[in-house]
Structure 1
Amino acid sequence: MRIGIVSPVLIQHPLTRAAWETSAGIAEVAEIAAAADRLGYHHVTCSEHIAVPTDIATERGGTYWDPLATLGFLAARTSRIRLVTQVLVLGYHHPLEIAKRYGTLDRVSDGRVTLGLGVGSLREEFDLLGAPFEGRGARADDALRALRAALGKPTPEYHGEFYDFEDIVVEPHAMQQHLPLWIGGRTPRSLRRAVELGDGWVPFGLRLDDLTAMLAKHPVPAGMEIVLSAGRALDPAGSPDAALRALTRLRDAGATVASVTVDATSSTHYCDQLAALEQLARPLGIEFD
């Protein structure tokens, strides 16, 4: 198992953000990403919402940094850590748009992009963008197939139910010939979609017991990433035993990647906590690059 960082600051959820994040910016995020890079953590993340209705923002937050701009900035300040969209909403984009933009990011980051992708659930945002909400699952499946046909290829071709293209050039294109696709979701359908069309599954909003049962019912192929959240922020310096228990539970549940955040009072403290977590986790056999 490896450990990836759910980047602080980039999502301002009223129930989970720490006080210091309210006034922090890209300098603090870059400081944390650079520390995670030096310590050998697997990845940093950036999620996507384009425009959240004000009443919904009150509940789930309205601040979501743009993944392409943010991860491009972080790519220039790191050298090894992977850059993960967690997640892009497939229905908001044409597959070639994703292939071109994130293929370019893969090129400038020397092949470090992982695309976390989801079907999406916020109808109001779909309506605002003029994207069809009904039938979005079938469209997402076709988009995933189109993406796989396009990523890493200068002259992609695909003929599907919703997307169709040939005789085109996409340059620059992704450096990775098989750029990893992680599928987000919380339903058995999302897990089946990940098994059929992706390289990893990133569930959210589910209890660990439910995740374990779902994985037992739908075995995954060898090499597929299972990215499980540690839930509450870990405090490796202040509560090391609790942090160890959380990581052990994820490993025993089948996680190949643990997705964590840490309890901190500033970006500097966050970096210190990452160092403490790395020292704590190595004896468990958790891998750091």
Structure 2
Amino acid sequence: VRDFAQTAEEMGFHHLAAPDHVLGVNVASRPDWGDRNTSKDFFHDPFVLFGFLSACTQKIEFSTQVLILPQRQTVLVAKQAASLDVLSGGRFRFGVGVGWNPVEFVGLNENFHDRGKRQEEQVRVMQALWAEPHVVFKGKWHSIEDAGINPLPTRRTIPVWFGGHADATLRRIAKMGDGWMMLAHPKGPEAETAFATLRRYVEDEGRDPNAIGLEVWVSTGEGGPADWRKELLYWKSIGVTHVTVNSTFARGPHRRIAGRTMADHLHAMKQYHAAVADVL
């Protein structure tokens, strides 16, 4: 993983992304489960992974895509994120989601059913802890009695981006987010409508839509260099600020590459960067 990160940085990529799952199910006891998030799937803890990679790299940024925030303890996550931000020199962008797998929530002793509303309060708690050395907070799920974390982030804040595509997620971004990681729609009218909806919600909150980042995933699993370039130019034309090359994802509109080795993925990344480098 060190070699992968260093090679990506040398190629000219701006950030590395990592997903988050703590538990994977045993499909032997769940014959109807399918192949999503099983015990065969390998996930490094993102904070440990990025802490390690921050010492192996110089400038590439790190982004969780996404960390399932409601299944974790909020104050502990705020501390972990702040520590990573400091150790990496401010290179961390924090993507959060609400998750979909109740098995993880049960194992981590958290409530699956209130995860969306609780996430909103979690972000408020973290933002308060990152901004001030001492915090007094009383919410529905959290209480902090004049205490704080140390170290604080380098800029007294960490960018919080949201994954997901529910209307409640878009409203949450408009209220308190720094960006949206949009994976649900391919290029075209659906994506444009979703972005327009988010911008309208942001304006309703009295914030500047241009200050909210937009991220999409692309893959080298379909088409060739000319197609990838055309797709990137399209996304840029409708306001997308971040494009992640993820050639392993195969759900919804996304297609993965056939190869599964590190060499296969590095080759795909090199091809993609060569195709789009001059229009980034």
User: TM-score if structure 2 supplies the norm length?
Assistant: 0.82
Return the match for 2:84 from 99, 102, 105: 105
> Which residue matches 1:215?
195
Letter in 2 for 1:280: A
Residues 25, 37 of structure 2: 8 Å contact kept: no
What displacement does 1:139 show?
Answer: 0.7
> Which residue matches 2:182?
203
User: For residues 240 and 68 of structure 1, what CA distance do their matches in structure 2 show?
Assistant: 34
Letter in 1 for 2:262: S
CA deviations on 1:232-281 (whole Å, 9 max, x unpaired) are 3358xx92112212212322343110111355664345445434433321
Q: Does 1:42 align with 2:22?
A: no
Query: Relative contact order: is structure 1 or structure 2 higher (C-alpha 8 Å, sep ≥ 6)?
Result: 1
Residues 200, 224 of structure 1: 8 Å contact kept: yes
Greater mean alpha carbon deviation, residues 70-79 or residues 207-216: 207-216
**Structure 2 counterparts to residues 35-114 of structure 1, below 5 A:** 35-55=7-27, 56=33, 58-61=35-38, 62-114=41-93
Residues 152, 179 of structure 1: 8 Å contact kept: no
CA deviations on 1:103-151 (whole Å, 9 max, x unpaired) are 1111111111111111122122212222111222111111111111112
> Which residue matches 1:23?
none
User: For residues 257 and 213 of structure 1, what CA distance do their matches in structure 2 show?
Assistant: 18
Q: Which runs of 5+ in 1 are unaligned?
A: 1-28
User: For residues 265 and 120 of structure 1, what CA distance do their matches in structure 2 show?
Assistant: 26
Q: Name the SS of the counterpart of 2:36 in structure 1.
A: helix
Letter in 2 for 1:85: T
> Which residue matches 1:9?
none
Residues 105, 113 of structure 1: 8 Å contact kept: yes
Letter in 2 for 1:279: A
Return the match for 1:224 from 206, 212, 215: 212
> Which residue matches 1:158?
137
User: TM-score if structure 1 supplies the norm length?
Assistant: 0.79
> Which residue matches 1:19?
none
Greater mean alpha carbon deviation, residues 109-118 or residues 272-281: 272-281
Return the match for 2:4 from 32, 52, 66: 32
User: Deviation above 6 Å: which 4+ runs of structure 1?
Assistant: none
User: For residues 84 and 131 of structure 2, what CA distance do their matches in structure 1 show?
Assistant: 12
Letter in 1 for 2:193: A
Letter in 1 for 2:137: Y
Q: Name the SS of the counterpart of 2:196 in structure 1.
A: helix
Residues 152, 175 of structure 1: 8 Å contact kept: no
Q: Name the SS of the counterpart of 1:59 in structure 2.
A: coil
> Which residue matches 2:275?
280
Instruction: Provide closer, same or farther for how the CA distance between residues 52 and 205 of structure 1 changes in structure 2, counting only shifts above 3 A.
Output: farther
Greater mean alpha carbon deviation, residues 202-211 or residues 115-124: 202-211
User: For residues 48 and 261 of structure 1, what CA distance do their matches in structure 2 show?
Assistant: 15
User: For residues 126 and 233 of structure 2, what CA distance do their matches in structure 1 show?
Assistant: 35
Instruction: Provide closer, same or farther for how the CA distance between residues 182 and 218 of structure 1 changes in structure 2, counting only shifts above 3 A.
Output: closer
User: For residues 269 and 129 of structure 1, what CA distance do their matches in structure 2 show?
Assistant: 35
